[in-house]
Amino acid sequence: MGENESLANIRHTLAHLLAQAVLEHYKDAKLTLGPAIDNGFYYDIDFGEEKIADADLSLIEKTMRKNLKHWEMFSEIPVTAGKAEKLFAGNPYKLEMISEIEKRGEKITLYYSGPKSGIPSSHDSLFILHNSSFIDLCRGGHVNNPKKDIPANSWKLSHIAGAYWHGDEKNKMLTRIYGLAFENEKALREYEDMMAEAEKNDHRKLGKELKIFAFDDDIGPGLPLWLPNGAIIIEELEKLAKDKERERGYKRVRTPHIAKESLYQTSGHLPYYKDSMYPPMECEGGRYYLKAMNCPHHHKIYLAEAKSYRDLPLRLAEYGTCYRHEKSGELFGLMRVRSMQMNDAHIYCAEEQFADEFKKVNDLYLEYFKIFGIEKYVMRFSTHDPKRLGEKFVDEPALWKKTEDMVRETLTSSKIPFVEVPNEAAFYGPKIDVQVWSAIGREFTLATNQVDFAQPRRFNLTYTDKHGKPQTPLIIHRAPLSTHERFIGFLIEHYGGAFPFWLSPVQVKILPVGEKFLAYAKKVNQELLSADIRSELDESNETLGKKVRTVKLEKVPYWIVVGGKEEAEKTVTLEGRAGGKETLVLSSLVPRLAKEIQKKK
């Protein structure tokens, strides 16, 4: 058993332990699901009319630790659907799960956990358990001896949240109890330290303090408003992306925010993606949808003119705005929104061009990682599930195998770190989700790189080969900088709001020591503004100390103090957020700063 599997089993075991402790204190609670997750475990529970809060977790955790001393084993108990239904007769959630398992033709298993002496000897005794023992509907994945295998100080209960049954807001809201669990106490403490730092750098908090974005009830949930500082960051990111894409032969296009229903029927998005799209609008006898993705629009641009092999690869890029009706309970600051501006592009290429184009996209990712100081990353290579063809994935088994092999071979030959994840591909082909870690160690799913063999056929995209015969291109969907919303949310937390000089909304603040030096301060400010350096002049009557404190709170990279000495000598004193101070003649200020902007460090 690998280290990751072992830790997952510990976490899943603790979910069982949590459920048992809850039932010990809340007799009428109805258990639903309790899986292991990346940082620990949770259990979703229907407490009915009873109330539970974070303050109650200490009692539940105390009971868990008491009972863990008696948990010496897990034992699988296969049962019939009838027997399972009898055992969970008062729990509609478990009954629904039993019915679903039965429909899939899978075996139904219970798991006993507790002391070796307490294991039921027959199915008829399933209802008679010792105090610390527990039986739950489960597929397995536990440690052999919880008492010995789970380090005492490596786990804890963390907090309570709400969660809809099956994640559907039409269903009942359940109580989700979260726990943290790691391989040892040191790893748990490190994670807690990281989360404390993450809370301090939360993009929602810093975004408000630094006046980057806002939400408004009259606009609607998940629809961010970009304030002037946020708009500057967007413009700088777009400028960077356009420069990089121009160097690589991309051609920029623009597409409308809505389209007729027939476009999304052709693309196949409606049957697979309809729940994430806004409801249609009736207009002139037709139905129109808000654009949830750019790709079908780009395919129509491809079709606007006939293509030959000489036109490929064709790389079409757009910072297109898309709208997705994410569930209200899943909205989260800039990380999960309903309106998003996507760093999108679609590469139409011949099969023999695929490996080179796919590698170039990955190389662009690596270049961006260097610019933004992203040192830890991994590519999640998502493949399909052959059992779900026609349901979740387009029914083209041969093309799935061929394209997945191509992606796997390209990743391996490029020596890019990746992990393979089954059953998470896009419906039209395999994809790569880019996982990155911020400077404080927090993980984000940032960007995507997808292969599409289905839509070229749906849209009848073709090109003429060297022999005059029609061929079907492959499509690579890519978005290295994700969306403005998600990427800026990541950058706020990655930098703690202290953006690098080239990206900072305000790059320099001019601080005159007194009103009599205001004229010279305005001259310095104008020099910077004329050179497209984002400078602001503090004309307030505050003391210099107060002005400097304000600049530091605003996380401005540089400030310039202007007094009598500077005015007399036509110099400036440049001070930096990172420390240090230098005196420059005014004529050398702009070249000095422009050079730093150019380096994008």
How distant, in Å, are the alpha carbons of 19, 160, 179, 447 from that of 26? 10, 16, 18, 43
Q: How far apart are CA 378 and CA 388, in angstroms?
A: 26
For residue 276, is pLDDT > 50? yes
Do residues 386 and 398 make contact, with C-beta atoms less than 8 angstroms apart? no
For residue 4, is pLDDT > 90? no
Instruction: Report the pLDDT value the prediction gives residue 296, as an integer from 0 to 100.
Output: 95
Residues 198-202: what's their mean pLDDT?
89
pLDDT tens-place string over residues 383-416? 888 878 777 777 778 878 888 888 888 888 878 8
Exposed/middle/buried for residue 364 (C-beta within 10 Å: 0-12, 13-18, 19+): buried
Q: How far apart are CA 361 and CA 383, in angstroms?
A: 19
Lowest mean pLDDT among 275-284, 316-325, 421-430, 488-497: 421-430
Q: Which two tokens stand for residue 65?
A: 């630790």
Residues in CB range of 459: below 8 A, 6 or more apart: 266, 267, 296, 299, 300, 302, 303
pLDDT tens-place string over residues 72-112? 999 999 999 999 999 899 899 999 999 999 998 899 999 99
Q: How far apart are CA 524 and CA 546, in angstroms?
A: 21
* Cβ neighbour number for residue 104 with a 10 Å cutoff: 7
Instruction: Report the pLDDT value the prediction gives residue 275, as an integer from 0 to 100.
Output: 85
Instruction: Report the pLDDT value the prediction gives residue 425, as an integer from 0 to 100.
Output: 80
Instruction: Report the pLDDT value the prediction gives residue 401, as an integer from 0 to 100.
Output: 85
Lowest mean pLDDT among 115-124, 371-380, 430-439: 115-124
Q: Which domains does the chain have, with CATH numbers?
A: 3-192 (3.30.980.10), 205-257+291-495 (3.30.930.10), 508-599 (3.40.50.800)
* Cβ neighbour number for residue 22 with a 10 Å cutoff: 23
Q: How far apart are CA 529 and CA 508, in angstroms?
A: 10
pLDDT tens-place string over residues 534-591? 999 999 999 999 999 999 999 999 999 999 999 999 999 999 998 889 999 999 999 9
Q: Which two tokens stand for residue 432?
A: 């790569």
Instruction: Report the pLDDT value the prediction gives residue 126, as an integer from 0 to 100.
Output: 47
For residue 122, is pLDDT > 60? no
For residue 467, is pLDDT > 90? yes
Instruction: Report the pLDDT value the prediction gives residue 130, as an integer from 0 to 100.
Output: 54
How distant, in Å, are the alpha carbons of 190, 574, 594 from that of 598? 37, 19, 6
For residue 129, is pLDDT > 70? no
More confident: 147 or 397: 147
pLDDT tens-place string over residues 150-190? 998 999 999 999 988 988 778 899 999 999 999 999 999 99
Confidence band of 327 (pLDDT split at 50, 70, 90): confident
More confident: 81 or 1: 81
Strands 431-437 and 36-37: unpaired
Confidence band of 601 (pLDDT split at 50, 70, 90): low
Residues 260-286: what's their mean pLDDT?
89
Q: What H or E segment, with its residue span, contains residue 61? A: helix 57-68
Nearest to residue 289, comparing CAs of 256, 329, 334? 256
For residue 230, is pLDDT > 90? yes
Per DSSP, the three-state class of 341 is strand
Q: Which two tokens stand for residue 226?
A: 């970009």
DSSP annotation string for 349-375: E-GGGHHHHHHHHHHHHHHHHHHTT--
pLDDT tens-place string over residues 497-519? 999 999 999 999 999 998 899 99
For residue 71, is pLDDT > 50? yes
Residues 468-472: what's their mean pLDDT?
96
Do residues 593 and 528 make contact, with C-beta atoms less than 8 angstroms apart? yes
* Cβ neighbour number for residue 457 with a 10 Å cutoff: 15
Q: What distance separates the 2 farthest-apart alpha carbons in the chain?
A: 97
Instruction: Report the pLDDT value the prediction gives residue 145, as an integer from 0 to 100.
Output: 94
Instruction: Report the pLDDT value the prediction gives residue 1, as an integer from 0 to 100.
Output: 44
For residue 124, is pLDDT > 50? no
Instruction: Report the pLDDT value the prediction gives residue 3, as an integer from 0 to 100.
Output: 57
Instruction: Report the pLDDT value the prediction gives residue 378, as an integer from 0 to 100.
Output: 87
Cα Rg for the chain, rounded, in angstroms? 29
- Provide the percentage of residues in the chain whose pLDDT is more than 90: 69
Nearest to residue 337, comparing CAs of 168, 201, 224? 224
Place of tokens 């690596």: 366
Q: What H or E segment, with its residue span, contains residue 414? A: helix 397-414
Do residues 407 and 354 make contact, with C-beta atoms less than 8 angstroms apart? no
